[in-house]
Chains A and B, each alone.
Chain A
Amino acid sequence: MKYALFLGCKIPYYVPHYEIATRRVLGDLGVELVDLEFPCCGYPMRHLYFRSYMLSAARGLALAESRELNITTPCKCCFGALKRAQKFLADNPELLREINAELAAEGLNYSGKVQVRHILQVMHDDVGMAELQSRVKRPYELLRAAILYGCHAVRPSEVTHFDDPSNLHLIDDLVKVTGATPVTWAGRLSCCGAPVRERNEDLALATIRRRLSEARDAKADILVIACAYSQMQAEWAYSLAGPPPQRELIEGPVLYPQLLGLCMGLTAKDVALDRNTPNGEYLISFLRRD
Chain B
Amino acid sequence: MLFDLALYTSLALLALGLAYKLGRWLTTSIGPESRNYTPAQRLSASLKGLARALRGRSLGPMMAALVLDGLFQRRSLGHSRWAWAAHMLIFWGMMGLIFLHALGPVLIPSFTATLNPWLFLRNLFGVMLLAGAVMAMWRRLRLPGLRRTTHWADRAALGLLALLVLSGFALEGAKIVSVHSFDSMIAEYGDLPEDNDRAALGQVWRDHYGVAFPEGQVPAGLELMERGLELHNDSCVDCHDNPQWAFASWPLSRLMAPMAGWLEAAHTALWLYYLHFLAAFAALAILPFSKFLHIFTGPLLLMIRVAVPREEMDPAARALVRALELDVCTHCGACSVHCSVAEAVKHVPNLSVLPSEKLIALGRLVRGKTDYGEMLDVMRQGAYMCTSCLRCTRLCPVGINLQDLWFAMKDDLEEAGYGPTTRTVAKKALETAGPSRSVAPFKVSNGEFQKDLGLSVQADTFRNCYRCATCSNSCPVVFSYEDPKKELDLLPHQIMHTLGLGLADEAMGARMTWYCLTCYRCQEACPQGVKVADVLYELRNLAAARQEQGESC
- Residues in A lying within 8 Å of B, measured CB to CB: 8-10, 12-14, 37-40, 42, 44-52, 55-56, 59, 88, 91-92, 102, 105-106, 151-152, 154-157, 165, 189-191, 193, 195-196, 198-200, 203, 206-207, 210
A-B contact list, 22 entries, CB within 8 Å: A9-B388, A39-B343, A40-B387, A49-B344, A49-B347, A49-B541, A49-B544, A50-B537, A59-B343, A92-B457, A106-B144, A151-B517, A151-B521, A156-B520, A193-B517, A195-B517, A198-B384, A198-B420, A198-B422, A203-B477, A203-B517, A210-B480
Residues of chain B in range 407-432 having any CB-CB distance to chain A below 8 Å: 420-423, 425-426
- Interface: B280 (CB within 8 A): no
B250 CB within 8 Å of chain A:
no
The interface stretch among B67-75, B257-265, B334-342 is B334-342
Contacts of B421 in A (CB 8 A): 48, 198
Task: Give every chain B residue within 8 A of A189 (Cβ-Cβ).
Answer: 521
Q: Does B296 contact A (CB under 8 A)?
A: no
B515 contacts chain A at the CB level, 8 A cutoff: yes
Contacting pair B343 A40 (CB below 8 A): yes
Which residues of A lie under 8 Å from residue B531 when comparing CB positions?
Answer: 156
A39 touches B425 (CB 8 A): no
Report the separation of the CA atoms of residues A40 and B457 in the bound assembly, to the nearest whole angstrom. 24
Whether the Cβ atoms of B524 and A39 lie closer than 8 Å is: no
Q: Is B346 an interface residue (CB 8 A)?
A: yes
The docked-state distance in angstroms from the alpha carbon of A92 to that of B144 is 28
How many Å from the CB of A258 to the closest CB on chain B? 21
The prevalent SS among residues of A at the interface is: helix
Bound form: Cα–Cα A207–B517 in Å: 10
Report the Cα distance A102→B301, complex, angstroms: 38
By the criterion CB–CB under 8 Å, are B514 and A151 in contact? no
Partner of B385, one of A45, A91, A203: A45
Contact of A52 among B346, B519, B538 (CB under 8 A): B346
A154 cross-chain contacts in B, Cβ below 8 A: 520
Residue of A nearest to B522 (CB): A155
Q: B227 on the interface (CB 8 Å rule)?
A: no
List B residues at the A interface (Cβ < 8 Å).
144, 338, 340-344, 346-348, 384-385, 387-391, 394, 403, 420-423, 425-426, 455-457, 476-477, 480, 514-521, 523-524, 531, 533, 537-538, 540-541, 544
On chain A, the residues within 8 Å of B144 by CB distance are 105-106
- From A39, A51, A92, A203, B341 is in contact (CB under 8 Å) with A39
- CB-contact partner of B343 in A13, A52, A198, A203, under 8 A: A52
Query: Is A199 touching B518 in the complex (CB atoms < 8 A)?
Result: no
Q: Decide if B347 touches A51 in the complex (CB within 8 Å).
A: yes
A13 contacts B388, C-beta separation under 8 Å: yes
Which residues from B are CB-within-8-Å of A196? 477, 515-518
Q: For residue A51, which residues in chain B have a CB less than 8 angstroms away from its CB?
A: 347
Neighbouring A residues of B340 by C-beta, 8 Å: 9, 38-40
A198 to B480, CA, bound (A): 17
Q: Given A55-B347, A155-B520, A190-B476, do A203 and B384 touch, yes or no (CB 8 Å)?
A: no
Using Cβ atoms and an 8 Å threshold, which residues of chain A touch B343?
39-40, 42, 52, 55-56, 59
Which 4 residue pairs of A and B lie closest in terms of their CB atoms, listed nearest first? A155-B520, A9-B389, A9-B387, A191-B519
Q: A39-B340, A52-B344 are in contact. List 13 more A-B contacts (CB 8 A).
A: A8-B389, A9-B389, A39-B342, A40-B341, A48-B540, A48-B544, A151-B519, A152-B518, A155-B520, A155-B521, A156-B523, A199-B423, A203-B477
Q: Give the CA-CA distance A108 to B531 in the complex, in Å.
A: 31
- Docked Cα-Cα span, A189 to B517, in Å, equals 13
Nearest-neighbour CB distance to chain B for A51, whole angstroms, equals 4
A106 to B147, CA, bound (A): 14
Q: How far is the CB of B262 from chain A (nearest CB, A)?
A: 49
The answer to whether A199 and B338 touch (CB under 8 A), given A13-B403, A191-B476, is no
B538 and A50 contacting across the interface, CB-CB below 8 Å: yes
Q: Which residue of A lies closest to B339 (CB)?
A: A39
Q: B389 — which chain A residues lie within 8 A by C-beta?
A: 8-10, 12-13, 40
Report which of B346, B403, B455, B540 forms a contact with A47, defined as CB distance below 8 A: B540
Most buried by A among B342, B476, B531: B476
Q: For A59, what are the chain B residues with a Cβ–Cβ distance below 8 Å? A: 343
Complex Cα–Cα for A220 and B117 (A): 77
Q: How far is the CB of A188 from chain B (nearest CB, A)?
A: 12
Q: Known: A40-B341, A56-B341, A200-B515. Is A152-B520 also a contact (CB below 8 A)?
A: yes
A49-B541, A55-B343 given; A206·B480 CB < 8 A = yes
User: B480: which of A14, A47, A50, A207 is its contact (CB, 8 Å)?
Assistant: A207
The answer on a CB contact under 8 Å between B537 and A49 is no
Asked if B388 and A10 sit within 8 Å, CB to CB, the answer is yes
CA distance A121 to B524 in the complex (A): 21
